[in-house]
Amino acid sequence: MNHFKKILICSFLYFLTAGFSFAQDIDRWDKEANEKENPNAIWFKNAKFGMFIHWGLYSKLAGVWKDKDYYGSGEWLMNQAKIPASEYAKVASSFNPVKFNAQEWADLAKDAGIRYMVITAKHHEGFAMYDSKVSDFNIVKASPYGKDPMKALADATRKKGIQFGFYYSQFLDWHEPNGGGNKWDFKEADKDYLKYYKEKSIPQLKELLTNYGNLGIVWFDMPGGLNKQQTQELVDEMHALQPKSLFSSRVGQGLGDYRTFGDSEIPATPIKGAWESIYTHNDSWGYISHDMNFKSPEEIIHLLANVASKGGNLMLNVGPDGEGKIPYYSEKFLRATGLWLKANGESIYESTYGLIPAQPWGVTTSKPGKLFLHVLNPPKDGKIVVPGVNSSITKVYRLTDKKALKYALKGQTLTVDMPLSADPHNTVIAISYTGSLNDGYLNNIPTVSPQYDTNMLEVVNAKTSGAAKQETLTYSHYFGDWKHTPCILNMVKPDDQVAFKFNITAAGDYKVLLEYSCAEENAKQEGIMEFEHKVYKFQTLRTSEFNSGKPLLFIKHPVAIISVPKEGQYTIKLRPEANAKELFKLKSIILHPVL
């Protein structure tokens, strides 16, 4: 170790022990990264599709403890069941993943079109899935398996040209008396968090960043116990060991190299810079034997297109079982996704966010001189209408076979004929153009058309006044199965209004539904909808109370039929009829054409 590294480590450990006491809450999802983008992030921004792997002792337990089934995040089983650390540690004696095959995992990732892989080196349970010299609570010393699967996986993955990285829970450690999180075994008042950092967390991170070659990513999780200066010391020390590695934003204090959003969260509008969304393939990160709710190939492809259309990466998680096998449906559906990417990957890899905002038919991604239309919901008449095209078109074609398609450009509205045989998951149409295409998100007005059974006006495109405001509500279904829903809140007085402006492509009658959540105490209030100088009254209906630990229920409440005299731009406004309680938590307005 050179002299510079010794100084960094010694000064950081001295700083940790200089009397700082833990007095901050955990920001479990630090979504802010360093304002100055890391120059090594180029490969990451181009990658678009990653594989997350949660694998540990919890995989052996498979969501079951003492004959009781647990649902949600399987890797949190020790916490959910409040299993004593000494009892949980005994699971290691029977953890023997003899069916683990690093080459098979690497082959699957390659076949799926994965460009980077991140695996849990140590999750909150405290068990190291590698040969750690810092703690004997690891797969080599504490289990009959007796080998280091991380060495084999790192080598196999890199041979496939896939960037490899480790997840590490830097603060939560339920096995250690001084680790964060375990309050059922260890008294909070007796904990010395800085001792935990000094004796386990930092030394194990050093092992991972020293002994496994170049890491594309170090995926920190659950920051806590350090102030910003101490976190900066940690980041500097680890970057000294791996200068080219990217650190996730969950290292804390806004000091990561790229932004990771909350579990299962996609931002409502495009985000510039390097960022990712992380999703589970079923309902859990760690393996649960009774969780069979896997996302289909179509769901994965739609998710990937949606994330890419906002400019980010999708890292999709799989949870291998206690024997080291990846679930059957994860293998099958990931390979199906890979087949789609093999034919359509040009529209995903190395792309940026789509300059044309989401339309009733789908989303877009962009490259210099090219726009890709991801047709997720084909129109009834086979005509794809693309607003805001201000450039000269040179070619329009289906991406898979390069077959030219008929199109017409009138003003700044492009109309493209759908191919006769559509992709069952996502038909991609490529548009080559010259000049610069306007960024449609700068003044986005959604489109409503009778060619679609459902036309949704999202709150992200609405304008609020008075005390009304937009806010994303976060809640869970199963334990840790997080959902994030942008809503309009604080509509209490008649001045607290929201307005939805939209373009409609044809005259006719449309049924209007309000999608909202409403607590029982707020129900049976009168609301006012205004359209074309007409007033439509409605009364709110009960759904559920908002609680971050429980499902938030939404109703699609039909409130009126409106008549649109001609195509053009219109506005729907909503407000409370009188001063009372909050009217509702509004998710969207839905318009159904009446045929």
Task: Provide the pLDDT for residue 22.
Answer: 32
Say yes or no to pLDDT of 27 above 90.
no
Say yes or no to pLDDT of 251 above 70.
yes
Rounded to 10°, the helix 297-309/328-344 angle is 50
Closest to 370 in 3D by CA, of 343, 352, 388, 386: 352
| Terminal Cα distance for the chain, rounded | 75
CA atoms within 13 A on the CB side of 223: 26
Phi-psi region of 302 (alpha: psi -120 to 50; beta: other; left: phi over 0): alpha
Reported as type and span, the H/E element at residue 91 is none
Instruction: For the chain, give the mean pLDDT.
Output: 94
Would strands 585-594 and 455-458 be described as parallel, antiparallel, or unpaired? antiparallel
pLDDT band at 506 (very low <50, low <70, confident <90, very high): very high
Task: Provide the pLDDT for residue 28.
Answer: 66
In sequence order, what are the residues at sequence separation of 6 or more whose Cβ sits closer than 8 angstroms to the Cβ of residue 346?
A: 372, 399, 430
CA atoms within 13 A on the CB side of 370: 16
CA dihedral 74, 79, 84, 86 (to 10 degrees): 60
C-alpha span between 38 and 35 (Å, rounded): 9
Cα dist. 528→46, 486, 491, 497, 576 in Å? Answer: 47, 21, 11, 10, 6
pTM recorded for the entire structure:
0.94
Share of the chain above pLDDT 90, in %: 92
Give the pLDDT confidence of 82-103 residue by residue, as tens digits: 999 999 999 999 999 999 999 9
Say yes or no to pLDDT of 12 above 60.
no
Q: Give 426-485 as a DSSP string.
A: -EEEEEEEES----GGGG---EE-TTSS-EEEEGGG-EEETT-EEEEEEEESSBT-EEEE
- Judged by DSSP in three states, 300 sits in helix
The two three-digit tokens of residue 390, written as one number: 């201000």
CA 282 to chain CA centroid, nearest Å:
14
pLDDT band at 8 (very low <50, low <70, confident <90, very high): very low
Task: Provide the pLDDT for residue 14.
Answer: 37
In sequence order, what are the residues at sequence separation of 6 or more whose Cβ sits closer than 8 angstroms to the Cβ of residue 381?
A: 451
The two three-digit tokens of residue 300, written as one number: 């994965």
Task: Provide the pLDDT for residue 184.
Answer: 97
C-alpha span between 532 and 398 (Å, rounded): 40
Provide Rg for the chain, Cα atoms.
26
- Judged by DSSP in three states, 236 sits in helix
User: Can you tell me which residue has the tokens 């199963």?
Assistant: 478
DSSP 33: B
Say yes or no to pLDDT of 122 above 80.
yes
Say yes or no to pLDDT of 1 above 90.
no
Give the pLDDT confidence of 345-359 residue by residue, as tens digits: 999 999 999 999 999
Give the pLDDT confidence of 191-248 residue by residue, as tens digits: 999 999 999 999 999 999 999 999 999 999 999 989 999 999 999 999 999 999 999 9
Task: Provide the pLDDT for residue 588.
Answer: 98
Say yes or no to pLDDT of 262 above 90.
yes
pLDDT band at 34 (very low <50, low <70, confident <90, very high): confident
Strand partners for 430: 372, 397
Task: Provide the pLDDT for residue 206.
Answer: 98
C-alpha span between 63 and 82 (Å, rounded): 13
C-alpha span between 545 and 521 (Å, rounded): 9
Say yes or no to pLDDT of 260 above 50.
yes
C-alpha span between 39 and 415 (Å, rounded): 39
Question: How much is the average pLDDT of 3-14?
Answer: 38
Q: Which amino acid is at 257?
A: D
Say yes or no to pLDDT of 572 above 60.
yes
Task: Provide the pLDDT for residue 420.
Answer: 86
Cα dist. 10→6, 208, 232, 238, 588 in Å? Answer: 6, 19, 15, 13, 55
Closest to 205 in 3D by CA, of 158, 244, 241: 241
pLDDT band at 3 (very low <50, low <70, confident <90, very high): very low
